Amino acid sequence: MEMPSLELVRKALNAARKRVVDYEFFFDHLKSPDWIEPLSKENMFRDPPAALREGDYIKFPFWPESKYLARMAEHAPALVLKVILEVPETDNIRVHEDMADAALAMPADLAAKWVKREIEWLVKQDRLYFTLFPEKLGALVARLAKGGQKETALELAKVFLAILPDPKRVAKSEVEGNVPFAPDPRARFDLWEYQEIFKKYIPEFVRACGIDAFNLFCDLLKDAILFSRRRDEDDGPEDYSYIWRESIEHSKEHSHGVQNILVSGIRDAGELLIKEKILTLQEAVQILESRDWKIFLRMALHLLKQFSEYDDFLVAAHLTNYALFDNYGVRHEYALLLRKCFNRLDEPQRKIILGWVENGPDLLKYKEAELRLSGKQRSDAEAEKYRLYWQRDRLAWFKDQLPDEWKARYQQIVLELGEPEDSTYPFRTQTGWVGPTSPKGIDDLKQMTVTEIVDFLNIWKPPQGVMEASPEGLGRNLAEAAKQQPEKFSSNAICFFDTHPTYVRAIISGLADALKEKQRFEWPIVLELCRLIIELPRSLTEKQSKFSQDCDSDWGCARSAIARLLSKGFEEDYLPFEMRATVWSILEPLTHDPEPTTEYEAKYGGSNMDPATLSINTTRGEAMHSVIRYALWVRRNIEKLTNAKEKIARGFDEMPDVRTVLDEHLDISKDSSLAIRAVYGQWLPWLVLFDSDWVKKNVGRIFPDDEKQHSYRDAAWSTYMLFCNAYDNVLDTISSEYDRALSDWSNADDEKTRGGDPCRRLAEHLMVFYWRGKLPDAMFQKFWANAPDKVRGHAIKFIGRTLYGEERDKTSENVPPEILERMRSLWDSRLKFAQEAVNPELQTTEMSNFGWWFISKKFDDRWAMDQLLSALKISKSVEPDHLVVERLAELVPQMPNDVVTALRLMVEGAKEPWTVSSWRETGKDVLEKALQTDARQSAEDLIHYLGSQGYLEFGELLRRA
Amino acid sequence: VNQSLTPADLSQHSLTNQERHLHKSLSEKNLGLAQMYIGAVIALNDDNNPDRFSLAAHGLRELMEKIPEYLNLKIAESNLKSKVIELGDEWLKFKNHGKAKNGATQNEKRLAAFLGKIDEFFRWVEAARPKRRTQIAKVLKTFEPDGHHLPTRLEELRIDEWGEIWNCFINVAHHRVPISYDDFNVWKNALERFLLDRLCPRTFADQQDILAIIQEGDGNAKP
């Protein structure tokens, strides 16, 4: 057979080197192995591209040569093997993947030669990145095993399925006691793939390699358990598998890591090997029991249950082993084996087991353990009760197999104690946190009278221990009951005064929740309870503080609940206005609550929590919010009066109480909290509404000028920006602050992840004012002169999105022509500026966001297209590109050449491949239409250009045309 | 160079289709590049100019030189002067100190500082003023999609091709070698094709050619 001549090969390579995509095209379209040798002579298989590392990212370039070899392997396996063995070692996993494909297409003996070399590379790898490579190795393991290359298959499986230690696992020698987190052993690749490989390829491997495969998996599991231990010296047998693997027969692979996958794998392998008589039950059990950890014993018991008819003797030996009967860690599998096989035991063997039940647990040990663990001295009666529970739970394992007299006995116990839940499980884990539990259900509490509830609250002592009922749990149910029966709890609220603060807080919170559900109740007694609470010292009495660990540690939470209840009461005028004085007498003291203290803010504020969020999580903060709501409540009630206008004009003179509080907390010597300052920012438009003169007078205090108090200004300003919309009267009142913000963009680079970015919000405010024609020209100029590109770009985007939103929302009125004209004039000035800029790269965000204007359809098409082209020449990209391309598609009939030019600029500017991919189909639509117009040549040029950038699918447009 | 030519201006010169095509492609990228190119073509076609080859070669070499700039490639920083001054200062310190005969230890320290500066200088030269082949490789890569890889061997061939064209124009521009009109046109044509293949590719047509070669090779391989 002849090969293509070297001359022709060189001609091909000469043609292919013009562009990378042509070179890839050449290799992708080779269909014959005859090219391998001449290409090899030209050294084309000696230069695999290395992995590309950029910062935290890693890329694996495709290598067309290895893909070609993989395709040819089935036609010329020996030749391909020879070539791939000569390829230099590479860290590019895609090349390895192609070689694995090639090996899969070869006879097993040839594939084994490559695999042996590949194993040397694999052992050096810490991680096989997200490709199909692991799955291909899985397929190879099966193929090699089936093809008679068992030794190589085992070697490969051992390496690529190997369990690696968690990097955070610390050796005992390096740390005293346990390390903080249990280590998480891992494989070289994703666990989902690991599991899939076990499902798809391992049965074949197990069938071919038999006992060796079974042993290999057991060793892997042993490694996994060892690597999951906190301490190196902890070498079993307890592995706590009853927690991470409740039962052998059911899998929960996704929730419990590699150990679980391996347990299922060993279980399935064992069942397969026994079923197909490759391994005897006894051999399998021996292999498992030769490992120390309990999980192996559990798997042995599982196999005994599954194949119990294969070996009665072995089953009986296990069932009559007391160490297994009384073994917490293997209980589930022992119990299931007993359930299945009890009746197959002979009489003496049955008697042994029933005798163990008869004898019951060691009550002395029980009493000792109770004393040691819970500090409780159990009486004999209590111990007897425990014995009864113990016997019931054991008998329940095999209740249907019990002899008649024992059946009757079991029924008797059940009559007394009730039917147990599935007692084969020593420890039922629950998914998710279910929260603290309560000694009384919601319905119980709803049926009880208030007196009965209060009596219960005073008598009930929370038991110690995890998962036990707690005051917190009871409080939750109390709150829900109060929410559902607000009348009952409000009219008797005072009765709760002497109960623990946890319960008082629950009642008040429940009543606030009732208001959210628009349920009303009588306030006087509730307010009286609130008044009494705030008169109490904030800290608890000694008796209250020793009540329980799971309860409120002071009256702070109850005080916060009062502030929230009042806030709710102010909304919708739930609170009668006649109670103003009473309400204020409760609210005002809460504004002096010590929390947040300086220490509290230092601990929970800063990068942990912004001041605004902190304010709604502290008592004084809640109270200050409530003060503003109080003021709104007062104002709404004043508005109902006949002389309302006159009274409203008096501002805070009508609410001197509010003014006093607001004045006081602006004094840093009295209140140094940033959270409290954030409250002023959050409610600024309302403060202006109440009394703009007061705001004008205090603007310098709310936003202090002094550099030392910068954080106060920042807390107020950022919160104002993030929470408040743009109001003209606020701009008039605090224009100096807007002006000052326009000089300081030092925070503009902060990417705020929570709540938004104050700098971008400022841009939005300014654009709203500009839209309305309210923005002073000096501020307008200052913004565009000083703001960084990303903020200016946001301003352009904000306007564009507003215009686009108007277009989409057909029900809204059209944008008035004078506003459109104003916007157009803004854009003209921005484009001119960008075109004349010394550094046009500093205008790219601004220019690219013109796309939003373009898709809004609010402007003349010709004007919009001209602007888009001009902007694209500067920015090289446009947002939102996919919608812009959709609009371009609509405009092809009117201006095909411009449309193609715009699209070309977008393609040329696309930095990442997915940019074009996001609008690929619409782009095809544009070009297909353009090919039918006088822009045909430009469209063809662009299609070829797209091809040169790897978008070969656009070529079909030329073929169709 | 800074004035753009109108279509009417262009029509006064008898340009080939390839020349027009390349001029258009260059104009779309950067007007300055287009003017350099057309200036060279006009100079070449001026029969009355006895130095036309040198002038045309100079223009074309300049075009090749400026391509990285239009691509915004920061390849060559031009603060060589300041770096040389820094190096000179360190040399003077060492020289003057050596004359003062202040003891061997001091001299060794000064020498070490000077050698350190020299080392830094050459590292800077390597990073800021890479070898021409490295520059060319960077330029050529910018025409290719990100994340794709051409084997080193083929990449070297492309660089060689570019380098040969470059050398030809340098030699002609500096009157180092005589050249005929036809020979000059061979090199000019090579440059034009090289640029057009990248600025205005005919990808799918080229790939049809590749398919034809493959078919020819498969035909050769028949028993």
Q: Give the model confidence (pLDDT) of A675-700 as tens digits.
A: 999 999 999 999 999 999 999 999 99
Indicate whether A225 pLDDT > 50.
yes
Alpha carbon distance A50, A29 (integer Å): 23
pLDDT at A807: 58
Two tokens, residue B158: 């492309």
Answer with the residue of higher pLDDT: A383 or A131: A383
Alpha carbon distance B185, B169 (integer Å): 11
Nearest to A23 among B154, B202, B209 (CB): B154
Q: pLDDT tens for residues A295-327?
A: 999 999 999 999 999 999 999 999 999 999 999
Q: How many A×B Cβ pairs under 8 Å? A: 131
Q: pLDDT tens for residues B51-75?
A: 999 999 999 999 998 887 776 554 4
Tell me what ipTM this predicted complex has: 0.77
Whose structure tokens read 């929230």?
A564
Residues linked to residue A58 through DSSP beta bridges, in sequence order: A53
**Mean pLDDT calculated for residue range B140-147:** 82
Other CB atoms within 10 A of residue A512 CB: 22
Alpha carbon distance B114, B101 (integer Å): 17
Least confident of A321-330, A538-547, A744-753, B63-72: A744-753
Q: Which A-chain residues 894-953 have CB contacts (< 8 A) with chain B?
A: 911-913, 941, 943-945, 947-950
Q: Mind telling me how many Å the CA of A883 is from chain B's nearest CA?
A: 24
Alpha carbon distance A806, A816 (integer Å): 11
pLDDT at A105: 98
Alpha carbon distance B219, A570 (integer Å): 90
* Residue A214 CA to its chain's centroid (Å): 37
**Mean pLDDT calculated for residue range B101-117:** 71
Alpha carbon distance A578, A572 (integer Å): 15
User: ω before A237 within 30° of 0 (cis)?
Assistant: yes
Cβ-defined contact of B151 to A955 (cutoff 8 Å)? no
Cβ-defined contact of B158 to A17 (cutoff 8 Å)? yes
Cβ-defined contact of A29 to B221 (cutoff 8 Å)? no
DSSP A35-69: GHHHHHHTTTTS-PPPPEEETTEEE----HHHHHH
Handedness of CA A949, A950, A953, A959 (dihedral sign): positive
Indicate whether B178 pLDDT > 80.
yes
Residue A5 with chain B: CB contacts under 8 Å: 217, 220
CA distance readout (Å), A431 to A240, A247, A285, A435, A485:
17, 15, 32, 12, 32
Coil, strand or helix at A234:
coil
Two tokens, residue A960: 């169709």
DSSP A765-793: HHHHHHHHT-S-HHHHHHHHHHS-HHHHH
Q: Which residue of B has its CA nearest to A63?
A: B149
Instruction: Tell me the range of A1-10, A44-53, A605-614, A828-837 where mean pLDDT is highest.
Output: A828-837
A236 membership: H or E segment, kind and range: none
8 Å CB contact between A880 and A852: yes
Handedness of CA A569, A575, A581, A583 (dihedral sign): negative
Indicate whether A226 pLDDT > 70.
yes
Q: Which of A11, A21, A873 to mutate to test the interface with B (most CBs of B within 10 A)?
A: A21
Structure confidence at residue A173 as a pLDDT band (50, 70, 90): very low
Two tokens, residue B6: 């109108």
Alpha carbon distance A665, A669 (integer Å): 9
CA distance readout (Å), B115 to A326, A719, A901, B101, B110:
79, 57, 55, 19, 9
Dihedrals phi, psi of A733, to nearest 5 degrees? -75, -40
Q: Is A655 exposed, middle or buried (0-12, 13-18, 19+ CB in 10 A)?
A: buried
A516 and chain B in contact, CB less than 8 A: no
Closest CA to A91 of A132, A56, A45, A122: A122
Indicate whether A294 pLDDT > 50.
yes
Q: Which residue of B has its CA nearest to A62?
A: B148
Alpha carbon distance A726, A720 (integer Å): 10
Alpha carbon distance B179, B193 (integer Å): 20
DSSP A551-617: S-SBSHHHHHHHHHHHHHHHGGG-S-GGGHHHHHHHHHHHTT--PSPHHHHHHHSTTSS-HHHHHTT
DSSP A459-508: H--PPPSTTSB-HHHHHHHHHHHHHH-HHHHHHTGGGGGGS-HHHHHHHH
Indicate whether B7 pLDDT > 90.
no
8 Å CB contact between A425 and A332: yes
Other CB atoms within 10 A of residue A11 CB: 17
Structure confidence at residue B76 as a pLDDT band (50, 70, 90): very low
Chain B contacts to A (CB-CB under 8 A): 143-155, 157-158, 197-198, 200-207, 209-211, 213-214, 216-218, 220-223
Residue B210 with chain A: CB contacts under 8 Å: 12, 15-16, 22, 25-26, 29
8 Å CB contact between A739 and A699: no
CA distance readout (Å), A354 to A104, A304, A320, A322, A401:
58, 21, 10, 12, 12
Residues linked to residue A437 through DSSP beta bridges, in sequence order: A469
Indicate whether B100 pLDDT > 60.
no
* Residue A746 CA to its chain's centroid (Å): 31
* Residue A132 CA to its chain's centroid (Å): 26
Whose structure tokens read 């004209």?
A821
pLDDT at B127: 65
Cβ-defined contact of B149 to A20 (cutoff 8 Å)? yes
pTM of the model: 0.76
* Residue A832 CA to its chain's centroid (Å): 45
CA distance readout (Å), A832 to A225, A789, A795:
68, 15, 17
Dihedrals phi, psi of A227, to nearest 5 degrees? -75, -10
Residues linked to residue A554 through DSSP beta bridges, in sequence order: A539
Alpha carbon distance A218, A266 (integer Å): 7
Residue B146 with chain A: CB contacts under 8 Å: 911-913
HSE value, Cβ hemisphere, 13 Å, CA-based, for A700: 3
Alpha carbon distance A165, A183 (integer Å): 8
Helices (H), A173-289: 191-200, 202-228, 241-244, 257-275, 281-289
Structure confidence at residue A433 as a pLDDT band (50, 70, 90): very low
Whose structure tokens read 């082949």?
B133
HSE value, Cβ hemisphere, 13 Å, CA-based, for A618: 29
**Mean pLDDT calculated for residue range B185-191:** 96
Closest CA to A27 of B138, B198, B154: B154
Two tokens, residue A700: 């310098």
